[in-house]
């Protein structure tokens, strides 16, 4: 995803507070299903499990700890 400007493996990028955590928000949106639509990322899957989605949400809720 780096080539598209989304630095998934970069903690600073993923936890960047300067744009109201929009980087983390945007990633979360692509890996969660949109209503009846499957997630847009990764293309065609395999998609994140409920546990993985919950863990990412918890990481955000707990304050983006390293
Ligand atoms: C803000 C978040 C993201 C944006 C804007 C984004 C955007 C894109 C775009 C434009 C493409 C190329 C077009 C396509 O193949 O459909 C792509 C490909 C891909 N994305 Fe994402 N993506 C995001 C997050 C993610 C995440 C979180 C994952 C993995 C969990 C992921 C995995 C992939 C993979 C595997 C590809 C195909 C290979 C590649 O081009 O690197 N993406 N993404």
- Give 18-65 pLDDT, tens digit per residue: 999 999 999 999 999 988 999 999 999 999 999 999 999 999 999 999
Atom 10 of ligand 1: nearest residue by CA position: 4
| pLDDT score, position 62 | 98
Instruction: Give this prediction's pTM.
Output: 0.91
Question: Distance from the CA of 42 to the center of ligand 1, in angstroms?
Answer: 6
Q: CB 64: neighbour CB atoms within 10 A?
A: 14
Instruction: Kindly report, residue by residue over 3-13, the tens digit of the pLDDT.
Output: 678 999 999 99
């Amino acid at each position: 995803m780096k080539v598209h400007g989304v630095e998934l493996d970069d903690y600073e990028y993923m936890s960047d507070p300067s744009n109201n955590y929009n980087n983390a928000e945007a990633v979360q949106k692509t890996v969660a299903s949109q209503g009846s639509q499957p997630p847009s990322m990764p293309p065609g899957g395999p998609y994140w499990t409920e546990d993985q989605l919950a863990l990412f949400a918890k990481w955000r809720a707990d304050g983006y700890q390293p």
